[in-house]
Amino acid sequence: MTQPTTLAELKQTEWASPARRQRTVKDEMRENLICLLENGSPLFPGIVGYEETVIPQLVNAILSRHNFILLGLRGQAKSRILRQLVTLLDEEIPILAGSEVNDDPFEPISKYGRELINERGDKTPIAWLPSELRFVEKLATPDVTIADIIGDVDPIKAARGGHLLSDELTMHFGLLPRANRAIFAINELPDLAGKIQVGLFNIMQEGDVQIKGYPVRLNLDVALVFTANPEDYTARGKIITPLKDRIGSEITTHYPLSVELGTAITQQEAWVDRNGGGNRSIRIPDFMAELIERIAFEAREDKRVDRRSGVSQRLPISVLDNVVSNAERRTIATKEKQVVPRISDVYAALPAITGKLELEYEGELQGSETIAKDLIRRAAGRTFEGRVGGANVDDIVHWFDEGGALKITPDERSEALLKGFTVVPGLLDLIDQVGLAGKKDPATLVSACELVLEGLVAEKRIARSEELGYVRARSEPKPPFGKGQTGPGAGPNLFT
């Protein structure tokens, strides 16, 4: 069906009905949300782990026609949720063509809109505004001005048009008027200067704004939504009390409540589905995905990491990206056809961890790299315990105690490493409990073997050193036996 292009044509449609003309943006969001709920349609697709906590509170706020704020630490999908609010808007709405403030053709709020209708009457041109253009977002920074948000007088426009400065036609509208009949989002609200926050009062309570002290009132129809980090209240600024009082709902976000949920988010967001080059396929064993996710969980509980700042969900996402890339680089060098990450790839992903940790004083003394390695080791230990906990590992530990050692070269082919792992009694028998999902290819077996060994390191049953690899614990390790050497507990020296 062809959309109306003039006011006369628009008057013949449902848009001219009293119900449509009186419907605000918040009414529109409410009605569309009710339709989704009635049809059982998914809400906020791609947002994982909030089904029982955040999303019900969001639904209540929208049904209540509230302005609301999402309060949470970094990396908790606050901005993504706000951007998905456009799915609750109509596909498109009619506006007066050329209007800077999305004027309703039946009730224009700007002088431009009123004069256009007076001049053209039923021939007034109509444009259609799609939902994706009805979301205006602003990152709050201390240098944001009233002119940026509300607007200002434009002397050049006044001179060119021969208008008085007090004439509304000389106004340059800010972001808020331009968000008329739309959603206006402000990220990191506490960073907004107090006097700018005051400028939001009228629009939230009375629904209008004034520009530059002139008696120009714009009765805006806007849904206001905000995000904030609790730490920002004291670190960089605060939300002034009168503004907080005008925000209808304060919704607290959180990090994934379980490793399984965190893994699902990380797998969804990381760049895993990539072309490995040639015929290479990329497969991530579930135990490796769990280990990577546990790094973030361990960091959030570590006293050396600033909990007030939080550990973003971007950490495991970035780690998984780097882990896959390192495994990809290795398979290109060794000419293998399958990309399967190992523990050594996780250690190679340290740059994706260190930059995302805000450390306390004790952590600063130890250094971010030391802490990152410790987090990887602990994550491996938790993964090992959850999958292999209680299994008999005495034969493996005894082999190392007798002087056995494994020097693992990170860029060695899987077949060569697997051959070296076979000399450790009981190691290959144990990896079935790791969870191979039926995969018994060399790359997956090597990855599982490394997990078992790293888990034993975490439990301090064996030790791991950069120079000698996996060795016995609690004593000075003997150097690994080289080619041609024999002796009790002799182990392979897996150099390229």
Q: Tell me, what DSSP letter sits at residue 95? A: E
pLDDT digits (tens, 9 = 90+) for 156-184: 665 566 665 566 666 778 899 899 999 99
Residue at 55: amino acid letter: I
**How many CA atoms lie within 13 Å of 164's alpha carbon, on the beta-carbon side?**
3
Q: Is the overall model pTM greater than 0.75, yes or no?
A: yes
| Interatomic CA distance for residues 436 and 430, integer angstroms | 11
| Interatomic CA distance for residues 421 and 439, integer angstroms | 17
| Interatomic CA distance for residues 65 and 86, integer angstroms | 15
Residue 232 pLDDT exceeds 60: no
Would you place residue 309 in the very low, low, confident or very high pLDDT band (cuts 50, 70, 90)?
Answer: confident
Largest interatomic CA distance in the chain: 102
More confident residue, 481 or 174: 174
Q: Provide CATH 3.40.50.300 ranges for the chain.
A: 7-252
pLDDT digits (tens, 9 = 90+) for 421-477: 999 999 998 888 887 766 788 999 999 999 999 999 999 999 988 777 899 886 544
DSSP result, 376-408: HHHHHHHHHHHHHTT---HHHHHHHHTT--BEE
How is residue 134 written in tokens?
């009805």
Q: In what order do the strands lie in the sheet with 135-139?
A: 135-139, 182-187, 222-228, 68-71, 249-252
Query: How deeply is 234 buried, as exposed, middle or buried, from its count of CB atoms within 10 A (0-12, 13-18, 19+)?
Result: exposed
- Report pLDDT for 478: 47
Question: Does the structural domain 7-252 have CATH classification 1.10.150.110?
Answer: no
